[in-house]
Amino acid sequence: MDLGIRGKKAIVCASSRGLGRGCATALAEAGCDLVVNGRDAAILAKTAEEFRSRFGVTVTEVVGDVSTPDIQEALLKACPAPDILVNNNGGPPLRDFRELTRDNMLEGVTQNMITPIELIKAVIDTMAEKEFGRIVNITSLSVYQPIPGLDLSSGARAGLTAFLAGVARTVAAKNVTINNILPGKFDTDRIRTTIRFSAEKSGESEEAAAHKAAQVIPAKRLGSAEEFGKACAFLCSSHAGYITGQNLVLDGGLYTSAF
């Protein structure tokens, strides 16, 4: 399907690896020019070069922590009027909530709630003026289904979801949409770290631990960043203008619910 976004400009935050990279790949394949971001300059440069050579699109790299005002400014300088914004970031590490300091909590809320809101504030009016805008936030299945130890991440992302539910309705008439994608378990570096950790603890191989993790998922496998990216690109497409304020769960059936 032609997604109808060839030549559109997209900022994809935290996109040198993993799910963000999956989104950037699918948008580049659809013909979007990209601003990509990550803290490791070498990995980001390699990713950007791959997009240029595979898809022939223009790719600008912005190296640094997307949660900081400087890097947000650099992203917007590289692309002052994006048609598409994909908000992504790292998340707080697994930690018992009793151990969280006030600074930890402020950092978590900054990463997973304030940062996307700041970027949306900066781009939404121009999107509305142009009568085209697509904003996708990568959140987590933990917004629906708590994961002990990821309470800060879940809380900040749930806050973002509620905050944007109202905002989405204020720009819907201008063909600007805001949606969230909630990943379950995707095979990225982040999930591999968790799998390696449990493999070390139980003394089994990494592959055995990965297999075990997949068995609790009705699809019996981890998701791939590629399929995640394609769903994101559809939400960013010209065909998705009537989908807004939604939470798309991508989890192979892991979240058990009829509605």
Ligand X SMILES: NC(=O)c1ccc[n+]([C@@H]2O[C@H](COP(=O)([O-])OP(=O)(O)OC[C@H]3O[C@@H](n4cnc5c(N)ncnc54)[C@H](OP(=O)(O)O)[C@@H]3O)[C@@H](O)[C@H]2O)c1
Q: Which residues bind ligand X (CB under 6 A)?
A: 14, 16-20, 37-40, 43, 65-67, 88-91, 138, 140-141, 183, 185-186, 188-191
Q: How far is the CB of 31 from ligand X (least distance, A)?
A: 22
Q: How far is the CB of 47 from ligand X (least distance, A)?
A: 8
Q: How far is the CB of 14 from ligand X (least distance, A)?
A: 3
- Tell me the C-alpha distance between 211 and 51, whole Å: 31
Nearer to ligand X, 57 or 181 (CB): 181
Tokens in use for 187? Answer: 């095979």
User: 40: closest CA among 23, 15, 68, 76?
Assistant: 15
Nearer to ligand X, 176 or 252 (CB): 252
Q: How far is the CB of 249 from ligand X (least distance, A)?
A: 11
CA 170 to chain centre: 22
Nearer to ligand X, 137 or 176 (CB): 137
Residue 247's DSSP bridge partners are: 180
Tokens in use for 192? Answer: 């591999």
38-67 burial, b if ≥16 CB within 10 A, otherwise e? beeeeebbebbeebeeebebebbbbbbbbb
Nearer to ligand X, 44 or 240 (CB): 44
Q: How far is the CB of 173 from ligand X (least distance, A)?
A: 30
- Tell me the C-alpha distance between 9 and 74, whole Å: 15
Q: How far is the CB of 146 from ligand X (least distance, A)?
A: 13
Nearer to ligand X, 174 or 190 (CB): 190
Backbone Cα Rg of the chain: 18
Helix (H, G, I), strand (E, B) or coil at 135: strand
Q: How far is the CB of 15 from ligand X (least distance, A)?
A: 6
- Tell me the C-alpha distance between 13 and 126, whole Å: 19
The residue sitting closest to ligand X, measured at its beta carbon, is: 18
Burial of 107: CB neighbours in 10 Å, binned 0-12, 13-18, 19+: middle
Nearer to ligand X, 67 or 180 (CB): 67
**Would you give the DSSP letter of residue 93?**
P
Nearer to ligand X, 114 or 128 (CB): 114
Residue 104 backbone class (left: φ over 0; alpha: ψ -120 to 50; beta: rest): alpha
